[in-house]
């Protein structure tokens, strides 16, 4: 039998812990020039995308991540018209953003191979979103884009790998400051910041960097089975605290008005996601 052992908490961090998938078929394996990409088929998770040995998304549980990274800020904000996605080449965030009427999305992905290969071999992730006229996809460095662009956004979603390899710059205060410059008043930035039980340093560094740039910086939670280790934290940053404090009733009305339905997101999950267990809040204070 052929197995995939994830490198993140073993090879990359020396914690001697790994998750292992039975590989029933390797669908695609390529060195992209930026990273090593594999897509393989598994019995329980469907097709799995891994970059440099780290699981990025799986067909079976991607909704736990993409819905929370997308709908929490969109419903909290209430009036998003222009969204910027940094990374996200698999198209999962893009697909969720474009489920909302009246939102245009710009996606800046450094690695065109991720987009092409995922469209071909994991088409349910983007679900045709790259063909939507409301989507502009650019191949390039997201950090350079937010440094140089004149465009302004209501929402920036940073859907990156962990800070090993090409995504390292997407975790710096300079990058967050450039993002803040591109946000309209009331704008929100969200970003993945790892699984804190196993990656406390990633959470601490995102907290320090976001907090040095935005007046309201905190985290909310999701659980993604294939991001092994329990809760994943998603960074939340804005210069306004009102969107984070939105009441349940108002959220429920906004959600009802869209007529959308979800597999992970709900107004109550949205509210409760901002409650952090003491061991996570403690990492932020340390």
Q: How far apart, in whole angstroms, are the C-alpha atoms of residue 94 and residue 98?
A: 6
User: Which 8-state DSSP code applies to residue 277?
Assistant: P
SS3 47: strand
Residues 223-252 that bind ligand AG3 (CB under 6 A): 227
Closest separation between CB of residue 253 and ligand AG3, Å? 29
Measured from the CB atom, the residue of 129 and 251 that comes closer to ligand AG3 is 129
Closest separation between CB of residue 150 and ligand AG3, Å? 27
Residue among 38, 50, 54, 283 that touches ligand AG3 (CB under 6 A): 54
In what helix (H) or strand (E) does residue 249 lie, and over which residues does it extend? Answer: helix 248-258
Residue among 88, 163, 196, 235 that touches ligand AG3 (CB under 6 A): 88
232: closest CA among 109, 64, 39? 64
Contact by Cβ (8 Å): 25, 8:
no
95: closest CA among 121, 123, 73, 120? 123
Closest separation between CB of residue 257 and ligand AG3, Å? 27
Closest separation between CB of residue 173 and ligand AG3, Å? 20
Residues taking part in catalysis: 159
- Contact flag: residue 109 with ligand AG3 (CB under 6 A): no
State both tokens at 268: 């109550």
- Contact flag: residue 192 with ligand AG3 (CB under 6 A): yes
Site string for ligand AG3, 121-160 (x = CB under 6 A): --------------------------------------x-
Measured from the CB atom, the residue of 88 and 142 that comes closer to ligand AG3 is 88
- Contact flag: residue 67 with ligand AG3 (CB under 6 A): no
Closest separation between CB of residue 69 and ligand AG3, Å? 8
SS3 112: helix
Stretch that binds ligand AG3, among 85-93, 99-107, 147-155, 250-258 (CB under 6 A): 85-93
Half-sphere exposure of 131 (CA within 13 A, CB side): 4
99: closest CA among 247, 251, 255? 255
**Summary count for the chain: helices (H), strands (E):** 10, 13
Stretch that binds ligand AG3, among 21-29, 132-140, 177-185, 189-197 (CB under 6 A): 189-197
Closest separation between CB of residue 125 and ligand AG3, Å? 8
Residues forming a β-bridge with 139: 109
Neighbours of 218 (CB within 10 A): 20
Contact by Cβ (8 Å): 182, 84:
yes
Residues forming a β-bridge with 55: 50
Can you give the binding site for ligand AG3, defined by CB under 6 A?
8, 54-57, 88, 90, 92, 159, 161-162, 192, 194-195, 199, 227
């Amino acid at each position: 039998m052929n197995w995939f052992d994830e490198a993140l908490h073993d090879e990359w961090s020396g914690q001697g812990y790994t998750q292992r998938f039975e590989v029933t078929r390797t669908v695609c394996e390529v060195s992209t020039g930026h990273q090593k990409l594999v897509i393989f088929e598994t019995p329980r998770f469907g097709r799995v995308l891994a970059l440099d040995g780290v699981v990025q998304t799986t067909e079976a549980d991607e909704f736990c991540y993409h819905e929370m990274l997308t709908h929490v800020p969109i419903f909290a904000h209430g009036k998003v018209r222009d969204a910027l996605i940094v990374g996200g080449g698999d198209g999962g965030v893009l697909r969720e953003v474009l489920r909302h009427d009246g939102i245009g999305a710009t996606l800046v992905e450094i690695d065109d191979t991720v987009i092409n290969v995922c469209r071909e071999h994991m088409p349910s992730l983007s679900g045709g979103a790259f063909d939507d006229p409301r989507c502009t996809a650019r191949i390039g460095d997201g950090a350079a884009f937010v440094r140089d662009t004149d465009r302004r956004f209501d929402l920036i979603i940073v859907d990156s790998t962990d800070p090993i390899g090409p995504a390292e710059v997407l975790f710096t205060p300079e990058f967050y400051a450039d993002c803040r410059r591109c946000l309209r008043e009331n704008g929100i930035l969200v970003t993945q910041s790892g699984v804190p039980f196993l990656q406390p340093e990633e959470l601490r560094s995102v907290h320090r960097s976001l907090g040095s740039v935005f007046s309201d910086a905190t985290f909310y939670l999701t659980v993604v089975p294939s991001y092994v280790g329990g809760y994943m934290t998603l960074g939340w940053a804005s210069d306004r605290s009102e969107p984070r404090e939105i009441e349940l009733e108002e959220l429920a009305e906004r959600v009802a008005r869209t007529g959308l339905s979800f597999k992970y997101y709900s107004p109550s999950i949205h509210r409760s996601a901002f409650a952090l267990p003491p061991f996570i809040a403690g990492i932020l204070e340390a």
